[in-house]
Amino acid sequence: MDPRDPAWRAAAGSRTVLLAAPRSFCAGVERAIEIVRRVLATAGPPVYVRRQIVHNAHVVAELERDGAVFVEELNAVPDGATVVFSAHGVSPAVRAEAAERGLDVVDATCPLVAKVHVEATRFATRGDTVLLIGHAGHDEVEGTLGEAPQSTILVEDVEAVPHIEVPDPRRVSYLTQTTLAVDETAEIVDALRARFPEMRGPASEDICYATTNRQQALAAVAADADLVLVVGSANSSNSVRLVEVAERGGTPARLIEDADAIDPAWLAGTSVIGLTAGASAPPPLVDGVVSALRALGEVTVVERETARETVEFALPLGLRSGSADG
């Protein structure tokens, strides 16, 4: 930030920051990052990680500095090496390849994602066509599709619903990616149920508690803000959904990797900023945004908490003793 820049001078002024809570890391993200840290501490670098452990560039860069090596596919991992599966889960085919290669696998799949995998297998085994609501190409969706590829159809939006063809309309189930927008997903489910009245679903909602909580928390501040800033990476589904939640409510929103990504032109004429972070974004990045805004003038921070998260997920059995820093 250059105070001599006319754009930054135009953005100067006092502001209120409405801080959404909950925000930033969820239990599944914390668990996945801690798994990589503990494996690095016990096995020593390099430790290979298939895909980004969580979808955040800052997290990945920090773990790379500690000795983690991120790869797209297992063919980049040496035989017999240690590999961590990301929080987004993998398909059975990836697990089989790791076993054939003799890789030492540590699974950091979020337990809530693992739940969806189990449901996909169960629904397909009972003879249903599984309609998976989600985004093509997302790591989580790829893993879930791999559980029963011959029985699963990906549904990305309401517009796709009329075109779905299934062998038996009475044998249909649906599942969802865990990081979707709650309201949009409900619209798709309603459309599917109108098309397939006997459709069955999971016993409990697949969209995870953290995604739901962050969307509700943002909604509680966005209506009173001139602009919403969402801290998160562009490939983070839950972060992108937060931007969409604000925009659907009529408030302009921007996804930023960190404070350095703020365009001063966005801030001109604003007096109230809504601020949150996706579930894979480190909390200090939010503090950095507040500090950047303080450089432009007095900032009053008001936190609005809509839920308190107490969820914790246990580490894999072999990693539960000791700590990442010994």
The string of DSSP codes covering 98-159 is: HHHTT-EEEE---HHHHHHHHHHHHHHHTTPEEEEES-TT-HHHHHHHTTSTTTEEEE-SGG
**What is the total residue count of the chain?**
326
- Known binding positions for dimethylallyl diphosphate: 55, 88, 138, 236-238, 280
Torsion of CA 229, 233, 234, 237, to 10 degrees: -90
Q: What average pLDDT does the structure give for the chain?
A: 95
Residue 323 has pLDDT above 70, yes or no: no
- Known binding positions for isopentenyl diphosphate: 55, 88, 138, 236-238, 280
Q: Which of 140, 198, 303, 309 is catalytic?
A: 140
User: Quick one: pLDDT at residue 87?
Assistant: 98
CA 88 – CA 143 distance, rounded (Å): 8
Residue 297 has pLDDT above 50, yes or no: yes
Residue 137 has pLDDT above 60, yes or no: yes
Of 46, 101, 47, 50, whose CA–CA distance to 71 is shortest?
Answer: 50
CA 127 – CA 170 distance, rounded (Å): 10
**Beta strands, E only, 15-92:** 15-21, 47-50, 68-71, 82-85
Burial of 5 (0-12, 13-18, 19+ CB in 10 A): exposed
pLDDT band at 2 (very low <50, low <70, confident <90, very high): low
User: Quick one: pLDDT at residue 326?
Assistant: 39
CA 148 – CA 150 distance, rounded (Å): 6
User: Quick one: pLDDT at residue 7?
Assistant: 79
**How far is CA 86 from each of CA 29, 72, 134, 138, 247, rounded to the nearest angstrom?**
10, 11, 18, 12, 30
Residue 273 has pLDDT above 70, yes or no: yes
Residue 324 has pLDDT above 60, yes or no: no
pLDDT digits (tens, 9 = 90+) for 143-185: 999 999 999 999 999 999 999 999 999 999 999 999 999 999 9
- Known binding positions: 26, 55, 88, 110, 138, 178, 208, 236-238, 280
- 64 tagged catalytic: no
Residue 322 has pLDDT above 70, yes or no: no
Which domains can be identified in the chain, with CATH numbers?
6-25+209-305 (3.40.1010.20), 27-110 (3.40.50.11270), 112-195 (3.40.1010.20)
